[in-house]
Structure formats: structure tokens, C-alpha cells
Amino acid sequence: MIMLLTRLRLRNIRNHRYSELECPPGVILLWGENGAGKTSVLEAVAMLCTAQTFAAVPERSVVSRDASEMELGGEFCTHRGVRHEVVYRFPRDGGRRKIEIDGAPLTSAADLIGRFPLVTLSPDHGAVTAGSPAERRRFLDIVVSQVSHAYLLDLIEFRRILRHRNALLAAHEKLTGRLRTELEPWDRAFAAAAVRIVRRRRSFIDAYRPYFLAVMRDIVGAREVPEFRYRQSVETDLEREKAADDLAAELAARLPSDHARRSTMIGPHRDDLEMLVNGMDVRTHASRGQHKTLLISLKAGEWFFLNDHLDERPVFLLDDVFSELDDDRFGNILRLIPLLGQTFVTTANRTVLDRITHETTERALYQVEAGTVHRYMEAA
């Protein structure tokens, strides 16, 4: 038995007044015109699993326009057969979101991360290969946080320290001895958390790389050789025993520059994950089809990695991912989907609908029209 989302309920999310659907194992295909509300179903799953939508929008914007509150509900069945009910509520007026598991409220959204593992791929993720370093750091942080709660707590603490450090830099008009004294304990805390974060990121990359490479080979063979390298914003060797002391000293040495910018210019919040294909930087040399193939390989590799490193099998969300692929890559990716556990797929393309139904035997088909979900009956 594997972990499944067995039932999903949506109320007042975008154009869905109320939708409910059963979620069997295998592929759950959501078909309908653009704007019908297919992506909203996937957003609901993402919020139930991670407390955030995968789209780059404020949470408040997904609440239906004339509704006071959005409510989502999901029933999960673990690999041991234990059932859990997750309820997620978010008020339009900007109040606090409320998350409950089996009727018990969570004190922090961080307590949800990793409980019901999730992998998502949508058009918004194109920035992972083509966009800024922040998008690649976000990719790293989301994956590692699902396998390591300690990493997630370090990340939360690091961000708190960084805000305090930057606030001190901004609060002092001049670089004085008083500022150096005030920064000293924050720099020590910053360095200690930063070392733990970077070490965990590097360890993850080493463990994850074989999964990514295997999927990429399945899709394109040996003609495109991918690689990625972790790029630190500082040359300090963070693997050394006294790495935290070295990084704190580097922060102190760079204080004049940081003070002039009113911002901390080194640390894990400035690092990058450099991605290459055949030795060339994908941001400047990859075609649109190669970007899409890399993204799908990254995400499928993420699924296989999480599947091997967690007790529960992740749910996979694929939102309109099959455009800009040649027929060969499309076919190879379709053959991967049955291996990826419970997978939600959206499409507005009838050809994609027909090919997925032809390639998969374990599936449920839903049609989405104007915020309403109903079972789609295949032609005999």
C-alpha cells in the first residue's frame, strides 16, 4: 500500500464555489479549457500538503472574489492504511490561516511540511532553469525541507537572523564600533546556521544527482549530458571544522561593503545552483524544449529521490507540462508517468488527453468546466 490522497474538497478557491472529487491510485487527469479551474484543483492539493500554493501569487488572491474564506479538505491514507483528514482555511481579510490534521490545529505551518510529501511541476517552475538564483535556491529548499525537518528549522532561523542583521545595517547611518559590537552575536549565529544549510544542500545534491541523471537519460538518451554545481557566494570552505568561525570573520571583513548596501551580500541566500547541458549554461544556451526536458527530469528525479528517502510515496502534480516537446520526448515522458505513483495531470489539449488515456491503465478522468468538476466518460 502507498500513500494516497483519497478525497479532495474545494470551497471558494478561485472560480470553484464547491467541488469534490474522489482520488484513486494512478493518474488523475483533469481536462478542460484554459481558465476552467483545472490548476485550482492542483493548488488545493499543494496547500493541503505544503501550506502554500505552487503558483507565484499571494495566498489571498486564490480566495474567490466575493467569499470571506477559502476552505480546503483532503483525506490521506498512509502506506500503513492510517487515514488523516487535513483541513486548510484562509480568510480573505488577511487573517491567519488555520490548518488542522484530524481536528487538531497545527501551531505552525512548518509542522505540515514532509507529512504528506509532494512534487509539483507547473509553467511557473520554468524559472528554475531559466530564471534567477532565487528560484533554484527555492527548488533546493523545498526538496530538502521535506526530507529534513532540522533543515527547515535551520532555514527559518537563518532567515530570522538575516532580517535582524540587515535591519541593524539599515538602522546605523555610519559604520561605528557600536555597530560592529551589535553585529557580533548575529554574525556568529548567522555563520553557524549558514554552514549547516550549505552542508545539507551539498549533501542533498550528491545524493540526488543519480536520480536526476537517470531520468534525463530515459528521456533523451546520451546525446544531452546534464550537470549541476553548487556555487557559493563566498570562497570560504564551509566543510572545514572551523568553517563557522571563518565565515563570521569574513562577514566582519565585508562589513563596510554590506553597510554601504544595507544588505548582507554573502551567505546561502546568495548562493546558486549552476545547471549545464553538454558543458553549456542552460540559462543562455538551452532551447525551450531542453528547458522543459530539464525541468521534467529535475522534478521526476525529485519524486524518485523522495520516494526512496521518505516513508510515504509523494503525490505528483503536473500542470500543463506537455507543450514545447517533440514527439519523441513526449512519448518517453508519458512512459514515465505510470511509475510516479498518484499523479494529477491537467491539460487543455485533446491530443494529450487521448495519448495519456492510451498509455495508462490505472486512471481517473475528470472534466473541469467553469469551476465545476465532474467525471469524464470515455467513448466506448
Instruction: Say whether pLDDT at 145 is over 50.
Output: yes
Asked if CATH classification 3.30.1490.20 holds for the domain at 1-117+312-380, the reply, yes or no, is no
Nearest in space to 282 (alpha carbons), one of 143, 127, 139, 144: 127
3-class DSSP state for residue 101?
A: strand
Contact yes or no for 187/165 (Cβ under 8 A): yes
Q: What is the pLDDT of residues 169-187, one digit of tens each?
A: 999 999 999 999 999 999 9
Burial string for 20-57 (b: 16+ CB within 10 Å, else e) reads ebebeebbbbbbbeeebbbbbbbbbbbbbbbbebbbee
3-class DSSP state for residue 129?
A: helix
Q: Per-residue pLDDT averaged across 277-302, rounded?
A: 92
The pLDDT assigned to 160 comes to 98
Sheet holding 272-277, edge to edge: 226-231, 272-277, 280-281
Q: Show the cell assigned to 227.
A: 550537470
Q: Show the cell assigned to 313.
A: 510515496
The pLDDT assigned to 377 comes to 65
* Distance set, CA 353 to CA 323, 344, 346, 347 (Å): 13, 13, 9, 7
Say if residue 366 is exposed, middle or buried (CB neighbours under 10 Å; 0-12, 13-18, 19+).
Answer: buried
Alpha-carbon Rg of the chain, whole angstroms?
Answer: 22
Instruction: Say whether pLDDT at 116 is over 60.
Output: yes
Say if residue 270 is exposed, middle or buried (CB neighbours under 10 Å; 0-12, 13-18, 19+).
Answer: middle
Give the global pTM. 0.94
The pLDDT assigned to 361 comes to 81
Q: What is the pLDDT of residues 45-87, one digit of tens each?
A: 999 999 998 876 777 889 999 899 999 999 999 988 999 999 9
What's the chain's average pLDDT? 93
Rounded Cα distance, 281 and 152, in Å = 29
Instruction: Say whether pLDDT at 380 is over 70.
Output: no
Find the DSSP H helices in the chain. Answer: 38-50, 127-130, 133-147, 149-171, 177-220, 243-253, 255-261, 282-285, 288-309, 327-336, 350-359
Which residues on adjacent β-strands are paired with residue 11?
18, 71
Amino acid found at 287: S
The position carrying cell 530570522 is 160
Q: Show the cell assigned to 301.
A: 528525479
Q: What is the pLDDT of residues 215-252, one digit of tens each?
A: 999 888 889 999 999 999 999 999 899 999 999 999 99
* Distance set, CA 158 to CA 5, 191, 195, 226, 243 (Å): 33, 9, 10, 31, 16
Nearest-5° Cα angle at 360, 354 to 365: 60
Rounded Cα distance, 80 and 100, in Å = 21
Burial string for 296-331 (b: 16+ CB within 10 Å, else e) reads bbbbbbbbbbbbebeebbbbbbbbbbbeebeeebbe
Q: Show the cell assigned to 325.
A: 516537446
Nearest in space to 121 (alpha carbons), one of 356, 340, 377, 355: 340
